[in-house]
Amino acid sequence: MLTIANKTFTSRLFTGTGKFPTYQSMQDSLEASGSELVTVALRRVNVKDKDDDMLAHLSHPRINLLPNTSGVRTAKEAVFAAQLAREALETQWVKLEIHPDPKYLLPDPIETLKATEELVKEGFVVLPYVHADPVLCKRLEEAGAAAVMPLGSPIGSNNGLKTLDFLKIIIEQSNVPVVIDAGLGVPSHAAQAMEIGADAVLVNTAIAVAQNPVEMAKAFKMAVEAGRMAYACGKGAISTQANPSSPLTEFLSYE
């Protein structure tokens, strides 16, 4: 069971809502994914409209909405966006995305830290999207982030875990859940993320753009479960403790 802030999750697969051909296929895929935390871009929903089409397709008792601030370029804009999201979607949770670079959508570490500090003060549950930077992740944790969301590779790139070495350090050092976000293109990428000990993964493009999004959502669900299971079993196998039988040092016991 995964706990972030005060919520527990059975599923470790978080999903996004962009890029689907229809809201129906989005809804069906989310259903198949078993996901309990779903990101929604504030830019895509009509917060003034109570019957917004996208939101209507996301109202399911299992699904928790995680509004994101995609589109903002500064901490100040992010804070405004989070406040609006809180009011409109009635959630304290926010996925903090600050990318001043509109091409690769790479997150701004300085503004992200600033906004996290501010939002935590205001009582938000902040999940910042960041580069796989171990020091930054520690700083965010100290600032009160509820989890950290380092990227595997640039958003939508499907390139998998290009940042593997740094993700391992982040996971090893973190006291808050680590959710690997962005770049997971195929289920094996998600499985790998879980095998190295990520607490969860977030997948959007790979599911939304698949020929059959529903089947792909299922495949990711299984991959995340398999990866997690392997991580749980593998812990012993990769233990750095000495083995009970120590052929190299055995001779010492005869002294």
Partner 1 sequence: MSEFKDLLSQYPPEKVHQALTNVTATRVEQTLAKKERDLEDFLVMISPAAAPYLEVMAQKSRQLTLQRFGNNMQLFAPLYLSNECQNICTYCGFSLDNKIPRKTLSDKEIMKEVEVLKGMGFEHILLVTGEANRTVGVDYLAHAIQLIKPHFANVSMEVQPLDQDEYERLISSGLHSVLVYQETYYRETYKIHHPKGKKSNFDYRLETPDRLGRAGIHKIGIGSLIGLEDWRVDSFYTAMHLRYLEKKYWQTKYAISFPRLRPFSGGQEPKVAMSDRELVQLICAYRLMDPDVELSLSTRETEHFRNHVIKLGITSMSAGSKTNPGGYAAGKESLEQFEISDERSPRKVADLLERNGYQPVWKDWDPILQGTFG
Closest among 70, 119, 115 to 92, alpha carbons compared? 119
Establish if 77 lies at the interface with partner 1 (CB under 8 A).
yes
Q: HSE-up of 53 (CA within 13 Å, CB side)?
A: 5
Establish if 84 lies at the interface with partner 1 (CB under 8 A).
yes
Q: Are 97 and 68 in contact (CB under 8 A)?
A: yes
Amino acid (1-letter code) at residue 43: R
Residue window 35-74: x/- pattern of binding to partner 1, with contact defined by CB under 8 A: -------xxxxxxx--------------------x-xxxx
In the list 100, 142, 173, 246, the residue contacting partner 1 (rule: CB under 8 A) is 100
Q: Which of residues 190-209 bind partner 1 (CB under 8 A)?
A: 205, 208-209
Closest among 15, 6, 33 to 181, alpha carbons compared? 15
Q: Biggest alpha carbon distance in the chain?
A: 82
Residue window 142-181: x/- pattern of binding to partner 1, with contact defined by CB under 8 A: --------------x-x-----------------------
Establish if 220 lies at the interface with partner 1 (CB under 8 A).
no
Residue window 223-252: x/- pattern of binding to partner 1, with contact defined by CB under 8 A: ------------------------------
**What six digits make up the tokens of 151?**
């990227």
